[in-house]
Structure 1
Amino acid sequence: MTEFNKSRWANAEFSREYRDNADIFIVERSRLLEIMKSFYRYFIGNSKNNNVLDLGCGDGILTYNLLKIDNTISATLVDASDDMLNKANERLDGFEHINFIRASFQEILENDIIEQTFDFIVSSLAIHHLTMNEKREFFKKIYSHLHPGGYFMNIDVMLAPTDTLEQWYMQMWKEWINARKTSLGVEGNIFDDITRRYKKFDENKPDTLDDQLNTLRDIGFNEVDCFYKYGVFAVYGGKK
């Protein structure tokens, strides 16, 4: 049994709950998407017919937002969940030059089944499921699949550098969820233990932002930086 098949993401009901409630428990989700689009417009969007790779695509929301600002994109979306890929296919219905690959990150690490190179590689809330050693090898794969001058962006959760900061970040997350519930008129306590569940499950393997930025630099990425951060949520990347 693969690591993915042992995780909650192999469960269609869990995937549905995530999709339905992502705007509540992903901190600043709309802002994260706007940052990605701004990055694309500024660094990549001056040329057309760009090739984009979406790793751990989920329901395709990243690619969908990119296609809204540049419908000349050719996109390859990768996810290990059939349910998520089906939802991504539905979301992107009507767009051309879209390709789907069912694969886990471990399968990519073992077999490197992605054959193309890309102008922009993006991932959201997926790479934190890898250990730091796996992240390092995965970043190498990403680097090898970028065109010279291409960019990588990761939107993900980070491990705080100290326990005290980690506790504060978890409290910030709870405060965000409560504020979103109030603004959306959501009742009940279904999200009250989201931070506990995040810390509980072994499938979540976040590493510090510094470790990941330094790893990108060691691999050869340029212009490496954190583009945005709110508690454990961060956006970072670099250029080949």
Structure 2
Amino acid sequence: MTQFNESQWALPEFSREYRDNADIFIVERKRLFEIMKSFYRYFIYSREQKSILDLGCGDGIITHNLLEIDASISATLVDPSSDMMSKARERFSGYNNINFVQASFQDLLKSDIIPRDFDFIVSSMAIHHLDMDNKKRLFNFIFIHLKKGGYFMNIDTVLPPADNLEHWYFRMWNEWVDNKKNALGLERDIFSDLTRRYKDAAENKPDTLEDQLNALRDIGFKGLDCFYKYGIFSVFGGKKETS
């Protein structure tokens, strides 16, 4: 498992580049958020004293979207990047129902520094940095920290199950980026060769959707499904049953 301090994400300039261009890098990013909010409204909203855990929160965009539809949420945000965490703190400076924990997934797996359980645990574009053994460990951590009847959602990239699918998915990704870039009148070099850089980056360790759903099933999650998929970008998750 690549340590956070050894990855590009430890560099403030890298995290800033990602944050500034995420709507271009991530295919259908706004739609992914809308799916998450629809899921939350349907399965979580009607509960009392709702609590969420945002794993790999970045600048807090996921929690921000949830607070737009439910300001009563008590949220805990976790991220190892000091730059991202600083932006998240700025975003929520007027809130008193937000807790911040600067920690990596490795930190969470070494010692339990999250002392409560949650109605909804969500992660976006983060868990693919773990290999499968550590994904399983994190999934188990998530299961333990969900309340009975709680839900987990992962918005993330996955490994295509065949080379020809990967080639097609990467072409779709490049087409998305080109279309967004052209619509915005951008000609910046950071968008070139994006799929190769993603594939070559040591910190990217995606696994197939099927393998991850099976891992969640083995841990005890029920009602597992893929809620949305566009090439390598997917939304999936499940429930911790009440009994």
- Which TM-score band (shorter chain)? over 0.9
Match of 2:17 in 1: 17
Counterpart Cα distance in 2 of 1:133 and 1:47: 33
Gapped runs of 5+ residues in structure 2? none
1:201 aligned partner, one-letter code: A
Match of 1:77 in 2: 77
Counterpart Cα distance in 2 of 1:190 and 1:54: 28
1:139 aligned partner, one-letter code: F
Contact map agreement 1:48 1:72 (CA 8 A) in 2: no
Gapped runs of 5+ residues in structure 1? none
Offset of residue 4 of structure 1:
0.2
Match of 1:118 in 2: 118
Counterparts of residues 1-240 of structure 1 (less than 5 Å): 3-240=3-240
Paired residues, number:
239
**Deviating 4+ runs (over 4 angstroms):** none
Offset of residue 92 of structure 1:
1.5
Q: What TM-score, normalized to structure 1? A: 0.98
Contact map agreement 1:48 1:73 (CA 8 A) in 2: no
2:105 aligned partner, one-letter code: F
Q: Secondary structure at the match of 2:45?
A: coil
Offset of residue 192 of structure 1:
1.6
Offset of residue 114 of structure 1:
1.0
Counterpart Cα distance in 2 of 1:57 and 1:204: 17
Counterpart Cα distance in 2 of 1:221 and 1:107: 23
The superposition leaves residues 37-60 of structure 1 with CA deviations (integer Å, 9 ceiling, x where unpaired) of 000000000124201000000000
Q: Secondary structure at the match of 2:9?
A: helix
Offset of residue 93 of structure 1:
2.0
Q: Secondary structure at the match of 1:68?
A: helix
Give the percent of matched residue pairs that are identical in Structure 1 and Structure 2. Answer: 65
Counterpart Cα distance in 2 of 1:187 and 1:159: 29
Residues 47 and 209 (structure 1 numbering): CA distance in 2 closer, same or farther, change over 3 Å?
A: same
Q: What is the RMSD of the two structures over their aligned residues, measured on CA atoms?
A: 0.9
Q: Secondary structure at the match of 1:238?
A: strand
